[in-house]
Amino acid sequence: MVILSVLYLSLSTLALAQNNTSDVERVGWASSPDTRSTSEILFGCFSIFLVCSWKCVHLNLPSVEESEAGWHTTLAGWLPYWPTKPARRLIFRKVKWMLAIALAPEVGVALAAREFLRARKLQRFINLPTFTLSHGFFAYMGGFVIAIPDAAGQSLANRAKPSMKNYYLSARGLEALLKLGIFEPSNGWFPTVTEADIQDRSKSDPFTKAFAVVQCGWLVIQSIARAAQSLPLTELELATLAFIPCAFVMYAFWWYKPFDAQRPITLVCLNNHQAYQARLMIHCREKDAECYAGMGLEWGDVGDSDATDIMLHRQQEQSRFTELDYDLAREILVPGWEYGGAREKQDDPVVVIFYIAAATFSAIHTVAWTWEFSSDTSRTLWRVFSLMAVCSLLLNAFSWALGAAGEECADCADWGCNCCGHDVSSWNTPFLTMVGVIAYGVARVGLIALTFSCFSSMPADVYKAVDWRIPHFS
């Protein structure tokens, strides 16, 4: 009864208040304010860097220990509170590459281009309709494992036997196995691994990709509208606009690469002769004097970060060495990413793509040449760092061209030709490269520092919102 009485008195008071405020002005639709805050600018730019760098980083397969790692839980066993050491290592690797791509997107573009070109090369070499770019990327990221019995005559059907040992293959190791005939694509060993099987291991979701595209598109449209209405941008927005083309290029190169795949696919030798050949390759080391020093394959236990260079014995398959036109001994497959050894001809397009991406990224920063800064010193420093970034790239490109020309001259000299007329290889290209790299690093760090220091004193028009003539969402 008391509750009903209190409810009745509350409703009566509310009705009386509404009657007394009937003359208050009412609004049916409230537009957003014609200003924007610093937090809105920071959130909009940081969200693009965060989402794009997260979706751009397509790491190689982790080790077995890392893929099976979990979190420490409470005594009850149901509440995780801290990742285990392998899980922390995996998270650190992901965050490390996210920061690297966010700060130096041209590096991510070069890595993506390198993996794309090598995946396409492997696809063209195998030349099967069922072997797609996804297969090539999956091989490049260490996604294929070969199961080899430890002794001859053992059945290869039972993969769970303790005597069955697994080794992961790099893309080049897989290519070399095919050239040596240990695997025969015509026998149907590879078409059983479909593109759907590979993409099923990918954890890429369309929602995050769509969100990243919408965020980038909105910033571009907003920047064009602000320029049309003579409203200035912040230096952070300019840096974000410079990052967007690199992110889209990385998306394009890595479109068919599985994202965040955790487990490899196991391949089994088809007969005992192939297993015998594979065992010979395992037991013959590069340091063995009987091994042919011009041919190496990348192998390693699944989960190990150090690969084992495997060589063919000179007395077994020496007649097939001439079929391999490159040295695989320097190529190491590292969980998390793959790094190459010496410079190769096929990496020349990657270097060109790197310099184009870096030049585009640096040149966009020069757009702020005539902008209003917090002080004349800040404006001068911005101009100096922008020019330093572009000029250091030109110096590095010149140094790379000299190195390539020096290698060409060395090749000509080996054949008794003196077409160049002078020794280009004697020029000190490592010194030029070092100077260019240091100057480029200083310029990039300086631009990043100025990007955030400019928020201490911005022109008032920076915080004016665009006068949109149509309804929109932001």
Spatial strand order of the sheet with 144-149 comes to 164-169, 144-149, 265-268
For residues 266-275, average pLDDT: 65
Domain-located, residue 125: no
Residues 50 and 194 in one domain: no
Between 181 and 204, name the one with better pLDDT.
Answer: 204
Are 285 and 375 members of one domain?
no
- Domain presence at residue 226: yes
Overall domain count for the chain:
2
Structure tokens at 368: 């702020």
* Four-residue CA torsion sign, 363, 366, 368, 374: positive
Query: Structural domain of residue 441, as residue ranges?
Result: 24-70+81-107+205-257+344-410+425-463
Q: Which residues pair with 299 in a beta bridge?
A: 308
Q: Write the pLDDT tens digit of every residue in 215-231.
A: 888 899 999 999 999 99
pLDDT digits (tens, 9 = 90+) for 226-259: 999 999 999 999 999 999 999 999 988 988 888 8
Give which of 120, 173, 126, 184 is closest to 146, Cα–Cα: 173
Q: Kindly state whether residues 158 and 246 are assigned to the same domain.
A: no
Give the predicted TM-score (pTM) of the model.
Answer: 0.75
Q: Give 309-346 pLDDT, tens digit per residue.
A: 322 222 233 323 223 333 322 332 333 334 333 445 56
74-78, 180-184, 207-211, 451-455: least confidently modelled range: 180-184
Q: Is residue 19 part of a domain?
A: no
Whether 327 and 282 share a structural domain = yes
CB 354 within 8 A of CB 436: no
Query: String of b and e for 414-430 (b: at least 16 CB within 10 Å)?
Result: eeeeeeeeeebbeeebe
Q: What is the CA radius of gyration of the chain?
A: 30
In a domain, 1, yes or no: no
Residue with tokens 């050239």: 179
Residue 17 belongs to some domain of the structure: no
Does residue 166 sit in the same domain as residue 240?
Answer: no
Quote the CA–CA distance of 297 and 314 in Å, as a whole number: 14
299: helix, coil or strand? strand
Q: Do 244 and 387 share a structural domain?
A: yes
- Answer whether residue 133 shows pLDDT above 80: yes
Contact indicator for 204, 180 with CB cutoff of 8 Å: no
Decide if 349 is inside a domain.
Answer: yes
Residues 400 and 251 in one domain: yes
Residues 28, 85, single domain; the answer is yes
Q: Please indicate, yes or no, whether residues 354 and 379 belong to a single structural domain of this protein.
A: yes
Closest Cα to residue 59, out of 254, 277, 326? Answer: 254
Q: Which amino acid is present at 77?
A: G
Q: Is the pLDDT of residue 384 over 90?
A: yes
Asked whether residue 130 is domain-assigned, the answer is no
CA distances (Å), origin 306, targets 67, 310, 332: 17, 13, 8
**Residues 283 and 359 grouped into a single domain:** no
Q: In this structure, are 456 and 352 located in the same domain?
A: yes
Distance CA 428, CA 403 (A): 9
Q: Quick check: is 308 in a domain?
A: yes
Query: Does residue 381 share a domain with residue 290?
Result: no
